[in-house]
């Protein structure tokens, strides 16, 4: 297994900072606090270990430094960014700096007053999450009663004149409702609908056995999406993010490690990808101690998987490596125990069988409305602490049992 705590001199020499483009996209994860408890949350399962948040001044510094580096798109995310009462101050500064700003929210706390204040501060765009088109499933999957509130918030967002993306994470439970979810988005006047099939990191990885759909569910949902695209035209642009477990080639994750994406976690850790915290040994630089420019261009964490020098076989000699860049490092670690391995989604990977077996198991076990009694682990502080304790055992994640009860 590649030890990420050791410097990778040969890698850095092949990934010269002079060839590195500036970041384009800053994701400011303002807090891990969240009123929802979604079973597929991508936040790290050990988020309770990283609960100290940057101050307003520190976040303002991050925004200025990231803009000076060249970042142009800014997402305010979390957890739930609205639990920070300085959000309007940060939005105002982001607008002054020239960022295009997007608020990524569950809608909880998005009152008319805050919408008005955010509009005045210059917020450009809002992405509102739903878990389903039905109250029953929306509230079950988030372990909260928020469906009605989200409906009201969606109407308020449109009244305030914001462009709106509805986001719905898809999985075995709600894939059969894709037509209703699209109808809901159309009725709400959303300009965009993002139907994002679950990516299995963080909490979703622990709930994979419960969430993984069947290939048939996916095919049917895609056909429904195509039908609506044909009949609705540009009224609402529908994105359908395919789950890569069903592919034979991996995704070009984050469009390349350290290529365009720069995340900053609530405690100031700088992230080359959403799930980088899951990679043991990778020392994440912190904006409290290291200038952002140095983090982006010189840190070991951001240089570690740039370029091709880090690759092992079969990626190293693969004629497709420039297209997919070896796939996802976090998925490679979660499934094989080594982040420098080929992403097992690729059928050239010696571990591809693991992905095939997950899909096979989903097909064998899935029946309509069946998995409710299974032990889904909802994202909450108690489960985070339990999982941290379980993960401190010697067993690596690719060998750990799935679906522990919460
Ligand atoms: Fe980390 Fe793909 S999520 S590299």
Phi, psi of 182 (to 5 degrees): -65, -45
CA distance 13 to 309: 9
Please indicate whether residue 60, judged by its CB atom, sits closer than 6 Å to ligand 1. no
Please indicate whether residue 36, judged by its CB atom, sits closer than 6 Å to ligand 1. no
SS3 169: strand
Residue 31 near residue 203, CB atoms below 8 Å: no
Q: How many helices (H) and strands (E) in the chain?
A: 16, 9
At 388 the pLDDT is 85
Given the CA of residue 272, which atom of ligand 1 is nearest to it? 1
Residue 171 near residue 198, CB atoms below 8 Å: yes
At 204 the pLDDT is 92
Given the CA of residue 276, which atom of ligand 1 is nearest to it? 1
Query: Which pLDDT band, with edges at 50, 70 and 90, does 397 fall under?
Result: low
At 395 the pLDDT is 61
Count of all residues that appear for the chain in the document: 406
At 3 the pLDDT is 74
318 marked as binding residue: no
Q: How many CB atoms lie within 10 A of CB 13?
A: 11
41 marked as binding residue: yes
DSSP 144: S
Please indicate whether residue 304, judged by its CB atom, sits closer than 6 Å to ligand 1. no
| Ligand 1: residue whose CA is nearest its atom 1 | 330
At 402 the pLDDT is 40
Average pLDDT over residues 223-243: 92
- Give the tokens for residue 65: 């430094």
Please indicate whether residue 253, judged by its CB atom, sits closer than 6 Å to ligand 1. yes
Given the CA of residue 331, which atom of ligand 1 is nearest to it? 2
Distances (CA, A) of 363 to 80, 215, 305, 357, 366: 34, 7, 34, 10, 6
Query: Which pLDDT band, with edges at 50, 70 and 90, does 73 fall under?
Result: very high
Top pLDDT among 359 and 405 is at 359
Query: Which pLDDT band, with edges at 50, 70 and 90, does 35 fall under?
Result: very high
Question: Does 400 score more than 60 pLDDT?
Answer: no
DSSP 198: P
Q: How many CB atoms lie within 10 A of CB 42?
A: 18
- Return the percentage of the chain with pLDDT > 90, whole number: 78
The tens digit of pLDDT for each residue in 287-311 reads: 999 999 999 999 999 999 999 999 9
| Ligand 1: residue whose CA is nearest its atom 2 | 328
Question: Does 62 score more than 60 pLDDT?
Answer: yes
At 363 the pLDDT is 83
CA distance 156 to 70: 33
Distance 388 CA to ligand 1 centre (A): 20
Please indicate whether residue 274, judged by its CB atom, sits closer than 6 Å to ligand 1. yes
The runs of H, that is alpha helices, within 207-351 are 208-211, 215-232, 292-298, 300-303, 321-324, 329-336
At 234 the pLDDT is 83
At 80 the pLDDT is 97
Distance 121 CA to ligand 1 centre (A): 33
Residues 6 or more apart in contact with residue 179 via CB below 8 angstroms: 224, 228
Question: Does 392 score more than 80 pLDDT?
Answer: no
DSSP 7-67: --HHHHHHS-GGGPPPP-EEEEE--S--S---TT--S-TTGGGG-PPPPHHHHHHHHHHHH
CA distance 138 to 136: 6
Distance 20 CA to ligand 1 centre (A): 19
Helical pair 147-159 and 135-142, crossing angle rounded to 10 deg: 100
Given the CA of residue 254, which atom of ligand 1 is nearest to it? 2
SS3 102: strand
CA distance 225 to 400: 36
Residue 395 near residue 401, CB atoms below 8 Å: no
- Domains of the chain, earliest start first: 21-389 (3.20.20.70)
Which residue, 355, 380, 371, is CA-closest to 175?
371
Question: Does 381 score more than 80 pLDDT?
Answer: yes
At 373 the pLDDT is 54
Please indicate whether residue 332, judged by its CB atom, sits closer than 6 Å to ligand 1. no
Please indicate whether residue 376, judged by its CB atom, sits closer than 6 Å to ligand 1. no
Question: Does 330 score more than 80 pLDDT?
Answer: yes
At 18 the pLDDT is 58
Average pLDDT over residues 216-225: 95
The tens digit of pLDDT for each residue in 121-159 reads: 999 999 999 999 999 999 998 888 999 999 999 999 999
328 marked as binding residue: no
Residue 104 near residue 128, CB atoms below 8 Å: no
- Give the tokens for residue 243: 């789950």
Residue 331 near residue 320, CB atoms below 8 Å: no
Residues 6 or more apart in contact with residue 164 via CB below 8 angstroms: 125, 126, 127, 128, 154, 157, 158, 188, 189, 190, 191, 192
Distance 128 CA to ligand 1 centre (A): 23
The tens digit of pLDDT for each residue in 254-265 reads: 999 999 999 999
Question: Does 110 score more than 50 pLDDT?
Answer: yes
Residues 6 or more apart in contact with residue 1 via CB below 8 angstroms: 337, 338
Question: Does 239 score more than 90 pLDDT?
Answer: yes
Question: Does 403 score more than 70 pLDDT?
Answer: no
Given the CA of residue 278, which atom of ligand 1 is nearest to it? 1
SS3 74: strand
Top pLDDT among 389 and 255 is at 255
Please indicate whether residue 306, judged by its CB atom, sits closer than 6 Å to ligand 1. no
At 127 the pLDDT is 98
């Amino acid at each position: 297994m590649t030890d990420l705590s050791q410097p990778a001199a040969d890698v850095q020499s092949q990934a010269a900072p002079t060839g590195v483009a500036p970041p384009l996209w800053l994701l400011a994860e303002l807090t891990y606090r969240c009123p929802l408890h979604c079973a597929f949350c991508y936040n790290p399962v050990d988020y309770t270990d990283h609960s100290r948040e940057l101050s307003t001044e520190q976040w303002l510094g991050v925004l200025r430094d990231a803009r000076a580096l060249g970042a142009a798109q800014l997402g305010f995310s979390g957890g739930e960014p609205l639990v920070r009462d300085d959000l309007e101050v940060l939005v105002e500064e982001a607008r002054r700096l020239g960022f295009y700003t997007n608020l990524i929210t569950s809608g909880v706390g998005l009152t008319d007053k805050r919408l008005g204040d955010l509009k005045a501060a210059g917020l450009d765009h809002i992405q509102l999450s739903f878990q389903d088109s039905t109250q029953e499933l929306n509230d079950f999957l988030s372990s909260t009663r928020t469906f009605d509130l989200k409906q009201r918030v969606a109407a308020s967002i449109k009244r305030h004149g914001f462009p709106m993306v509805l986001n719905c994470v898809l999985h075995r439970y709600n894939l059969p409702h894709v037509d209703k979810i699209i109808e809901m988005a159309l009725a709400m006047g959303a300009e965009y609908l993002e139907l994002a099939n679950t990516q299995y990191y963080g909490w979703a990885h622990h709930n994979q056995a419960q969430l993984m759909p069947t290939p048939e569910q996916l095919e049917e949902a895609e056909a429904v999406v195509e039908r609506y695209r044909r009949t609705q035209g540009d009224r609402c642009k529908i994105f359908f993010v395919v789950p890569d477990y069903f592919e034979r080639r991996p995704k070009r994750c984050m469009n390349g490690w350290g290529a365009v994406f720069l995340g900053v976690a609530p405690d100031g850790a700088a992230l080359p990808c959403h799930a980088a915290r899951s990679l043991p040994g990778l020392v994440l630089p912190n904006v409290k101690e290291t200038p952002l420019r140095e983090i982006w261009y010189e840190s070991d964490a951001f240089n570690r998987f740039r370029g091709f020098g880090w690759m092992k076989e079969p990626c190293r000699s693969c004629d497709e490596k420039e297209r997919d860049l070896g796939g996802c490092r976090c998925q490679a670690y979660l499934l094989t125990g080594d982040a420098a391995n080929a992403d097992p989604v690729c059928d050239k990977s010696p571990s591809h069988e693991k992905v095939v077996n997950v899909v096979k198991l989903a097909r064998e076990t899935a029946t309509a409305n069946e998995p409710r009694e299974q032990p889904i682990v909802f994202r909450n502080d108690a489960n985070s602490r339990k999982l941290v304790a379980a993960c401190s055992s010697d067993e690596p994640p690719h060998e750990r049992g799935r679906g522990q009860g919460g």
